[in-house]
Structure 1
């Protein structure tokens, strides 16, 4: 099975360990992973801010970059949702084709590769935050939890108010910073109340927002992307 990695801007620029973990994980499961270097921003920030015309060249570039791949996999629910839900409205038939071939990582693992036990080992207490795009637009449901529940050594703790937004929301965090920060503080308080060492999520944009609050408050919690947990093994542990 051959797939292309859509790494996303946030991961490429700020969280490269998530992209590396995704490749390690997929290759361990027998997936042949390519990285099309022509990929750039998917256009989500522009589109969400109302700049549809400026989004169109990015849609065309992404469509060309991932042409010829049966599967395009991304460790980001928000970027997957952009491609899946908005590309068909913005672009042509090629953009609609890319939308149909694009999968968020946990979808790809469970629905395409057909696994929930990926051979991971992560001896830590973890609570899981389902980001809004994955929860509502993609309908990821129990896929991330099933993957986490199969990780050896991992103790999964229920997050109070798990379905509530963390407050990031892309440009929402800039335009409504006070509300955004208050929502983030609620999310961090709920996560800390579980006593977990790690707050896991499938979107580094949300984890970046939460992580900023964790850092300012000195909370005893470490945000970690789901891909990094699933890539961790006894032989190659997460650090």
Structure 2
């Protein structure tokens, strides 16, 4: 293999929620990256991206976590996360933490320039236009706030989903409306969060879909929990699991 055709080395930033609650998403992400011709590495020392601390105003701990991530991942050609919110933290907010820092500002910029959310990386960088998975179900897709508004992720998952044999995508009303999770928002304002997710699950149910998909575990767990409490049989999965053809595991938070 020549230098020109050598597989890019990708550091997979698995994210806390995937690691602790849904490892199958990490395996699905690795499978998709390998199918896109990448050499995948998963540094074992990785921890939180620092987003909870950052959103809570704890810049010191956020910077410490950012430095750890930069040191661990900066040697890869790309850093890819199966999460719009974590990818946005790495790409958009790390540079804010180190503005004016003579030692870290440029180092952080080089790191952040290599960060991508999984599905956008597959389509926009690796040129993937379809997958070989099959799924005979009707699905609906929720556009998570960070991925949509900070990284412009919208058409990319739909492009890949449209290539799945047997799958029908039924768009929900207000697919770009917040699910109410918002990281620490759902903890600080539970009543407001609860009302938001109630409206979201109503629009999900109205589609008649068998399955709900999204690209962020926080959003998925929030919506799955509400659907379960409502007695819904709608399956909830990360979009990477469907794209990779890895749907044998139990749905998130129950379901069918």
TM-score by length of 2: 0.89
Matches within 5 A, 1:50-129: 50-91=57-98, 92=104, 93-129=106-142
**1:223 has 2:236 as partner:** yes
Structure 1: gaps (5+ residues) = none
Q: 1:159-206: CA deviations, max 9, x gaps?
A: 111111000000100011011011111111111111101000000110
SS in structure 2 at match of 1:37: coil
2:222 is matched with 209
Name 1:34's counterpart in structure 2. Answer: 41
Once the two structures are superposed, residues 43-98 of structure 1 have per-residue CA deviations (whole angstroms, 9 ceiling, x without a partner) of 00000011011211101100011021111111000000001111111132222211
**Greater CA radius of gyration, 1 or 2?**
2
Normalised by the length of structure 1, the TM-score is 0.96
How far does the alpha carbon of each residue in 1:84-119 deviate from its partner, in whole angstroms, 9 at most, with x for none?
A: 111111132222211110100111111111012022
Determine if the alignment matches structure 1 residue 193 to structure 2 residue 206: yes
Q: Which runs of 4+ in 1 moved over 6 A?
A: none
User: Structure 2: 5+ residue runs without aligned partners?
Assistant: 1-6, 99-103, 250-256
Which residue number in structure 2 is paired with residue 168 of structure 1?
181
Q: How many residues align?
A: 236
| RMSD (CA atoms) | 1.2
SS at match of 1:163: coil
CA contact (8 A) 2:241 2:247 kept: no
Match of 1:72, SS state, is strand
